[in-house]
Amino acid sequence: MIDNNPLLKPFETPHQTAPFDQLTEDHFLPAFEHALKEGRADIHNIINNPETPTFENTIEKMEKSAELLGRISSIFFNLNSAETNDKIQSIAREVSPMLSDFSNDIWLNEKLFERVKKVYENQKESSSLNKEEQKLLENTFKAFARRGALLNGKDKERYREITSELSKLSLQFGENVLAETNDFQLHITNRKELSGIPDDAIEAAANRAQKANKDGWIFTLHIPSYLPFMKYADNRDLREKLFRAYTSRGNKGNERDNNEIIRKTVALRMERAKLLGHKNHADYVLTERMAKSPDKVTGFLNELLESSLPFAQQDVKEVEEFAKKEGFEGQLQRWDFAYYSEKLKTASFNVSDEMTKPYFNWKKLNRAFLTSQTNCMA
């Protein structure tokens, strides 16, 4: 499997893009295992280099280590997000703890950190590095500190446990939401209930029903199906049904409920932050970002709220007034807003998403181009 694994070979494709047509689910686990072994060998060679630690033999080598693992991870987790299935999710559950352990084995490695620390301290008295190299060195040193390298033995082990558990919780959270997204189907058999929905959305819904061996049309919680329905479907009851299904994913009190996962995640993030000397998770995250502190973020959000709220309130008022003119009675709900906003935009500017869609639809653009070329040749 290793010799014939496309993931472990150079990609002979334009711009070295992933050869998805050659990949199967069975390629990933062996590829991960091979790449992890290679990555550990890279780190082992850095640690056991008998030469005095330098930027070139330590920091630069670290930056280039585990490149294969990074490439495979990028491809796999993009697939897991965009086009997953039971097999891919099973691999993700098996691989995620392995990747977490590999990461911890690097950042909690005392010998490796000692080499990095020596390079960092030596460079304080030297100006031999350019700005990019200095930045990489500084970021590498800080990364070790932020990932537990300065902790004592007991706290290091607890940090390792926390990061491993957070990795599992994050994966389970996403799987729960995805499973509920995939399971829900709004099956319509009465064509009158399709009133207002664009033809291409209806056609896509018919194709889904056909693949499911059902009559009529099927709408789902996937964005390409969900958004057109919420914007254009005249049937308010069905809009509400779809909206409530979408917004309650992972919050139904069943085996896919994410509330306990959220509680555990919040608690573990707080524990990790305090373990590393921070007040809370926000403080830990923002230290290395432009805002620097939760107080600055809160100030920015309050300023944004103060500046934007009057305009948002005016927008809501305009949509409510338009809805009343259209005959709507009662209080506008969240499953109504996209619908009447789209109608207001069309009425005010004579433009809609459906009108601009062909300019962003590559299939239609390509078809139009081929048609124009054929006409010219004729």
Contacts 24+ apart (CB under 8 A), 276-284: 276/146, 276/148, 276/151, 276/159, 284/146
- The 10s digit of each residue's pLDDT in 304-324 is 999 999 999 999 999 999 999
What is the structure's pLDDT at 359? Answer: 63
Cβ-Cβ contacts under 8 Å for 17 (sequence gap 6 or more): 11
Assigned token pair, 96:
């995620």
- The 10s digit of each residue's pLDDT in 93-117 is 999 999 999 999 999 999 999 999 9
- The 10s digit of each residue's pLDDT in 322-364 is 999 999 999 999 999 999 999 999 999 887 766 777 666 544 5
Question: Mapping DSSP to helix (H, G, I), strand (E, B) and coil, where does residue 212 land?
Answer: coil
6-150 CATH pick, 3.30.420.40, 1.20.1050.40, 3.30.1660.40, 3.40.50.970: 1.20.1050.40
Distance CA 108, CA 110 (A): 6
One-letter amino acid for residue 91 of the chain: I
Distance CA 302, CA 65 (A): 43
What is the structure's pLDDT at 373? Answer: 42
Distance CA 181, CA 82 (A): 13
Cβ-Cβ contacts under 8 Å for 145 (sequence gap 6 or more): none
Transcribe 71-83 into DSSP letters: HHHHHHHHHHHHS
Assigned token pair, 259:
């509330």
Distance CA 120, CA 240 (A): 58
**181-182-188 Cα angle (round to 5):** 95
What is the structure's pLDDT at 3? Answer: 74
What is the structure's pLDDT at 64? Answer: 94
Distance CA 200, CA 294 (A): 45
> Dihedral angle at the C-alpha atoms of 55, 57, 61, 62, nearest 10 degrees?
-70
pLDDT in tens, the chain (378 residues): 567 899 999 999 999 899 999 999 999 999 999 999 999 999 999 999 999 999 999 999 999 999 999 999 999 999 998 888 899 999 999 999 999 999 999 999 999 999 999 999 988 767 789 999 999 999 999 999 999 999 998 999 999 999 999 999 999 999 999 999 999 999 999 999 999 999 999 999 999 999 999 999 999 999 999 999 999 999 999 999 999 999 999 999 999 999 999 999 999 999 999 999 999 999 999 998 999 999 999 999 999 999 999 999 999 999 999 999 999 999 999 999 999 999 999 999 887 766 777 666 544 544 444 444 444 433
> Dihedral angle at the C-alpha atoms of 269, 274, 279, 284, nearest 10 degrees?
-60
DSSP lists the bridge partners of residue 188 as 217
Q: Tell me the pTM.
A: 0.85
CB of 197 closer than 8 Å to CB of 237? no
C-alpha distance from residue 360 to each of 228, 258, 336, 352, 353 (Å) = 15, 36, 26, 13, 10
Sign of the torsion formed by the C-alpha atoms of 74, 76, 78 and 80? negative
Distance CA 147, CA 163 (A): 9
